[in-house]
Amino acid sequence: MSIKSEENLETAINLYGEVREILPKKSVDYARALMNEGTARSKLAEMSIESRVNLKIAVSLYGDSREIFPEKSTDYAGALMNEGNARSMLAEMGIDIRDNFERSKELYLQSISILEELGDGWTYSVALLGFNYLLKDNFYKTGEKKHLEEWERNLGDIEEKIKDRNIRYKKRVMASIHEIRASLFEFDGKQGISDASFEYYEAYKLSKEPYYKFMKEFCQARSGTISFCELVSNWKLEEKKSIFLDYYDYTVFECHLENALKSTINEEDELKLAVKKLTEIRDRTQIKIIKDRVSAYIHLLQALVDCFTEEAYTEAAKNVKEGCKIFREYGDKQGQQMCEIFHNAVVKKRDPDAWQEIIRNREFSSNFYNLLCQYSDRKRVDLEYYRFGQVHEIIGVVSKDVEQVKEISIRTENKIDEIQSQIHSGFTEIKSQIEDGFDGTAAELRQIKGKIDNIEQDFDNLVQISNEVGGKEGECIKEFASQMLELMKKGDSEALKRFSEKIIQNSSSITEIIEAAEIPEKEKAEAKSKLADLKKIPGILKEKAKSFSVDVTKDVIVSLTAEEIITLLTPVLSTAAFGVPIPSQIMTMLLAAIRNS
């Protein structure tokens, strides 16, 4: 969070040392304290604070923790991947590059193998992202595509192994696989970027995370289907943070370059705004190796701004020189090639129109985008490691109360797994019913099955919301999902119709409750808007049915009706997270509609 980072990390390291003086030396809690100190030291190393020393100590601490953790446990696998991460950072710094890279690869593969057997999907996805970063980073350094090909092979094997297995957080893992595959496709030119767009959308369908939907459209902008400025406009109001914010800001940067090339707009001002946006991206990161190289690109872009003033050519030359110096220090080959282009155009030829050619051929944007990808890969890994570490901080506290919390958490997760298993088997039954009575074309059947998959994801999303809400209202959301599933299986269109009518009849009172509640304005507006849209369901269904044959089955109509109801009610039910007791009222209406069947 960049709040006194160095001071807080140093304090954390001291505290982990002190707690080890108290804990039994062969206890799991002691091992977790070792691992947490290693993580804190790795963060200091990223900030270029005694990087070599801190990383070597971190490697040693992770090794010591593995001597204590039970083999084949999540903790043991976590220590393996943490050491893999630390060793990859040592290799990145040029310390025993080959040995650290190979050892890091071994550690990640060991970790992935253990987590695969445990069925721990969440930690598994963390390990996959870390391994992805390692191989991609080595590709950036060497230019050898064998590292990407190796990862593509591993990714295919992993997907094959888990697709039919019942593992926790399976959708999270599958979304990560699509995300990683998308990032690999981006290396394959225009067709690869198009394929990446599809993979990001698959990740979005599984996770419902807006970031993935944005990345789908971002790839379309990169391939020229839409402009970057259109993308900026489309996503301007969406809340963004972390990696999502970085990619959005990069899109704003590209929009300024687009505008700079339009003769009707002040080119110099647009380039200055582009420099400002790069500066914002740089200032958000504490990863020094990335921060410095972004600074180098800022120097080069500033040199183009200097080209607009005859007397500023001396300043332009200085900026090019400063940028080149940074790229040389980090052995950044792409950056050094950019320097050559800038030196020839700005310093040697002193061409006032040099900026147009450099921006138009997109080499500057392309190289900076590659750096942004490296940064986002590292940042994503760091965020996941941080969350992984948080879990171990919480679980690792020696307290009966915390052990009880852990047991409750496990029971809750098991209950969620049970409900999700019930949902999965229910939707398998629904698909079978639809297939048995379907007389349309094979293409229509595929289309309908795709819609059923989307509805299943909506049900899974409801279960996750119920867990976040908790308590009585959370249980009501689970019961709502369960009863809606039963209505779909029975094909009870009349009950669904009565239920939607009851919601519409009571929409004014529900709206009043939402309006009076202390809810963020964005969530409040969405809930009220969706509630108002319920009266449009008959018209929406009529339009959807037009895309199928005349003889579309009743099961399909029931499924489409349920989909619309759940899509519109999810934001309304979600207000329970802010203490609004709406799910219990919705459930009362649904049960009344069912009783009248």
What HEC string does 283-322 produce?
Answer: HHCCCHHHHHHHHHHHHHHHHHHHCCCHHHHHHHHHHHHH
* pLDDT band for position 378 (cuts 50, 70, 90): low
- Report pLDDT for 48: 81
- Report pLDDT for 402: 40
What number is the average pLDDT over the span 533-541?
73
Whether residue 416 has pLDDT greater than 60: no
Domain final residue, candidates 141, 156, 184:
141
Query: Is 35 in contact with 19 (CB distance < 8 Å)?
Result: no
Would 571 be classed as within a structural domain? yes
Would 213 be classed as within a structural domain? no
What number is the average pLDDT over the span 383-401?
46
Rounded Cα distance, 569 and 26, in Å: 51
- Report pLDDT for 487: 82
Whether residue 551 has pLDDT greater than 80: no
DSSP per-residue codes, 354-383 = HHHHHHHTTHHHHHHHHHHHHHHHHHHHHH
CA distances in angstroms from 215 to 131, 174, 194, 210, 227, listed in the order given? 21, 17, 11, 9, 14
Kindly report, residue by residue over 150-179, the tens digit of the pLDDT: 777 777 777 777 677 666 667 777 888 888
Kindly report, residue by residue over 23-48, the tens digit of the pLDDT: 999 999 999 999 999 999 998 988 88
Domain final residue, candidates 91, 107, 141:
141
- Report pLDDT for 67: 94
Find all residues with CB under 8 Å of 563, minimum gap 6, and list them: 451, 454, 455, 458
Rounded Cα distance, 415 and 464, in Å: 11
Query: Residue 94, Cα to own-chain centre: how many angstroms?
Result: 29
* pLDDT band for position 353 (cuts 50, 70, 90): low
What pTM was computed for the model? Answer: 0.56
- Report pLDDT for 525: 84
**In which residue are the tokens 């329970």 written?**
576
Q: What would you measure as the largest C-alpha separation in the chain, in angstroms? A: 85
What number is the average pLDDT over the span 294-304?
85
Would 257 be classed as within a structural domain? no
Would 4 be classed as within a structural domain? yes
Among 44, 46, 86, 43, smallest CA distance to 62 is for 86
* pLDDT band for position 592 (cuts 50, 70, 90): confident
Domain final residue, candidates 125, 141, 157:
141
Q: Which of 114-118, 211-215, 263-267, 555-559 has the lowest mean pLDDT?
A: 263-267
Kindly report, residue by residue over 429-463, the tens digit of the pLDDT: 877 777 776 677 777 777 777 777 778 777 877 87
Rounded Cα distance, 485 and 506, in Å: 23
CATH number at residue 71: 1.25.40.10
Rounded Cα distance, 296 and 282, in Å: 10
- Report pLDDT for 230: 92
Domain of residue 91 covers 1-141
Residue with the larger pLDDT of the pair 155 and 564: 564
| Percentage of residues in the chain having pLDDT higher than 70 | 81
- Report pLDDT for 311: 64
- Report pLDDT for 347: 67
- Report pLDDT for 468: 73
Mean pLDDT of the chain: 79
Whether residue 129 has pLDDT greater than 80: no
Would 256 be classed as within a structural domain? no
Residue with the larger pLDDT of the pair 556 and 43: 43
- Report pLDDT for 446: 74
DSSP per-residue codes, 482-540 = HHHHHHHHHT-HHHHHHHHHHHHHTHHHHHHHHHHS---HHHHHHHHHHHHHGGGHHHH
Find all residues with CB under 8 Å of 279, minimum gap 6, and list them: 298
Q: Which of 6-20, 237-251, 258-272 has the lowest mean pLDDT?
A: 258-272
- Report pLDDT for 406: 44
Whether residue 362 has pLDDT greater than 80: no
Instruction: Give the chain's domain count.
Output: 2
- Report pLDDT for 391: 43
**In which residue are the tokens 């269904």 written?**
541
- Report pLDDT for 521: 81
Whether residue 186 has pLDDT greater than 60: yes
* pLDDT band for position 359 (cuts 50, 70, 90): confident
Q: Which of 53-62, 550-559, 587-596 has the lowest mean pLDDT?
A: 550-559
Residue with the larger pLDDT of the pair 313 and 208: 208
Kindly report, residue by residue over 71-106, the tens digit of the pLDDT: 888 889 989 989 998 998 898 888 898 899 899 989
Would 313 be classed as within a structural domain? no
* pLDDT band for position 184 (cuts 50, 70, 90): confident
* pLDDT band for position 256 (cuts 50, 70, 90): confident
